[in-house]
Amino acid sequence: AQSVTQPDIHITVSEGASLELRCNYSYGATPYLFWYVQSPGQGLQLLLKYFSGDTLVQGIKGFEAEFKRSQSSFNLRKPSVHWSDAAEYFCAVGAYDNNNDMRFGAGTRLTVKP
């Protein structure tokens, strides 16, 4: 089965600084990859997804992610962080032959300093 690792439990960045959240996956075939964001006590909102094609995907709220097959990574980036981006971010990987089998990473909590 596929799996996801988010190496950073907690990241702090200053407002206006750039952001990169790391995600590494393990899966034997081409993965379906997702980034979700969760505000405290809320559900998850989809930021972006990768199924195939262009390896650089754009999402909502100014986020982007790049799929790198050679590194088994799908890192999330934002050029300039806003205070409202403080939240928890989850990377997820789906199996191409079973859309019910979605595996989530443990999450990275983002703190934004003024």
Partner 1 sequence: DGGITQSPKYLFRKEGQNVTLSCEQNLNHDAMYWYRQDPGQGLRLIYYSQIVNDFQKGDIAEGYSVSREKKESFPLTVTSAQKNPTAFYLCASSRADGTYEQYFGPGTRLTVT
Q: Does 44 bind partner 1 (CB under 8 A)?
A: yes
Q: Helix (H, G, I), strand (E, B), or coil: what is residue 104?
A: strand
Q: How far apart, in whole angstroms, are the C-alpha atoms of residue 103 and residue 95?
A: 9
Identify which range of 11-19, 65-73, 74-82, 101-109 contacts partner 1 by CB under 8 A: 101-109
Cα distance between residue 95 and residue 114, in whole Å: 39
By CB under 8 A, is residue 29 in contact with partner 1? no
Q: Which of 45, 33, 47, 13 is nearest to 92 (CA)?
A: 33
Residue 32 interacting with partner 1 (CB under 8 A): yes
Torsion (CA) 37, 39, 42, 48 in degrees, nearest 10: -10
Q: Counting contacts by CB under 8 A, is residue 56 touching partner 1?
A: no
Minimal distance, residue 99 CB to partner 1, in Å: 5
Nearer to partner 1, 81 or 94 (CB): 94
For position 55 contacting partner 1 by CB under 8 A, the verdict is no
> Which one of residues 52, 54, 70, 100 is an interface residue with partner 1 (CB under 8 A)?
100
Closer CB to partner 1, 70 or 100, in the complex? 100
Q: Please tell me whether residue 84 adopts helix, strand or coil conformation.
A: helix
